[in-house]
Amino acid sequence: DQQVKQNSPSLSVQEGRISILNCDYTNSMFDYFLWYKKYPAEGPTFLISISSIKDKNEDGRFTVFLNKSAKHLSLHIVPSQPGDSAVYFCAASAERRGSTLGRLYFGRGTQLTVWP
Amino acid sequence: DAMVIQNPRYQVTQFGKPVTLSCSQTLNHNVMYWYQQKSSQAPKLLFHYYDKDFNNEADTPDNFQSRRPNTSFCFLDIRSPGLGDAAMYLCATSRGGAGSPLHFGNGTRLTVT
């Protein structure tokens, strides 16, 4: 049962324009959301995160928006660059009571292609 | 540079022949994870260690075992690989605090013949 869903397997965007990657989740207990980027033959690398107490977090060209009522988050990349071409994974965690460990649930990923 | 290193990058094993994948970290993180990722699917957590405490996911097959002899190293043992175990195996670490991001190695691509 997929608790984190990325319904678009791929996205193609022209260089300089905005890329918007979407993610939906079903578990209302999730309290942290993270985005990872993965290049071929490499492991995923952490990109940006957001706590459920916020609705926006920005880091340079990357902004994550969280809409808790809709159980939806999105990653905006502005402006998009060819080097951003990669698979982007959305992930979520729910802190268990008495535990400091956040088990991550991943989506299936979205392949972003930024063309010149 | 502090990092998570997985060896080997590519592993070929025969059906039913035990195989061990290794992971080491220089981040001194408390938590180490093993994920399995099959093509076009989400990474699936197999188990994790918080220090020496082992946590197995309920749906992880008994065929998969893990060892963490010290903070820096963690091993994934597949006792009798089947064709369905062919996948990318990702090791990751984290400090373990709320919202702590995971740091991944580059993975081991396992092929079962």
Nearest Cα residue in chain B from A111: B40
CATH number given to A4-115? 2.60.40.10
Residue A65 reports pLDDT greater than 70: yes
CB pair distance less than 8 Å for B101 and A49: yes
The pLDDT of residue B93 is 95
Question: Where residue A98 falls among pLDDT bands split at 50, 70, 90?
Answer: very low
Q: Give the pLDDT confidence score for residue B95 in this predicted structure.
A: 87
| Residues in chain B, pLDDT under 70 | 1-2
User: Is-contact A67 A22, C-beta < 8 A?
Assistant: no
Per-domain residue ranges of chain A: 4-115
The per-residue pLDDT for A16 is: 97
* pLDDT given at position B12: 96
The stretch A41-57 carries a mean pLDDT of 93
State whether B101 and A108 contact (CB < 8 Å).
Answer: no
Angstroms from A79 CA to nearest CA on chain B: 25
How many domains does chain B contain in total?
Answer: 1
Instruction: Please give the residue range of the domain that contains residue B67.
Output: 4-112
Distance of residue B56 Cα from the nearest chain A Cα, in angstroms: 12
**A34 vs B31, B48, B101: nearest CB:** B101
pLDDT of residue B40: 83
How large is the average pLDDT for residues A90-108?
75
On whether the CB atoms of residues B91 and B105 are closer than 8 A, the answer is yes
Closest in B40, B97, B100 to A108, CB measured = B40
Give which of B34, B111, B88 is closest to A40, Cα–Cα.
Answer: B88
Output the 3-class SS for A1-52: CCCEECCCCEEEEECCCCEEEEEEECCCCCCEEEEEEECCCCCCEEEEEEEC
With a pLDDT cut of 90, the percent of chain B lying above it is: 81
Contacts of A106 in chain B (CB under 8 A): 42-44
CATH number at residue B35: 2.60.40.10
Nearest to A102 among B42, B99, B106 (CB): B99
DSSP assigned state of A52: T
Q: Which two tokens stand for residue A112?
A: 């972003």
Per-residue pLDDT at A114 exceeds 60 = yes
